[in-house]
Amino acid sequence: MALKDWIFLSFLVMKCFVVLKVEGMVQEKEDATIPVTTLSPPEGNTTFLGGTTWCVARAGAPQFDLQNALDWACGLGMADCRPIQAGGPCFEPNTLLSHASFAFNNYYQQNGNSDIACNFGGTAMLTKNNPRLRT
Q: Is the pTM of this model over 0.75?
A: no
Per-residue pLDDT of the chain (135 residues; tens, 9 = 90+): 554 443 433 333 332 222 223 334 444 444 444 544 434 444 444 444 457 899 999 999 999 999 999 999 999 999 999 999 999 999 999 999 999 999 999 999 999 898 899 999 999 999 998 887 654
Cα 96 to Cα 23, 81, 102: the distances in Å are 63, 13, 10
Dihedral class, residue 44 (left if φ above 0, else alpha if ψ from -120 to 50, else beta): left
CA distance 82 to 67: 16
pLDDT of the residue at 114 = 85
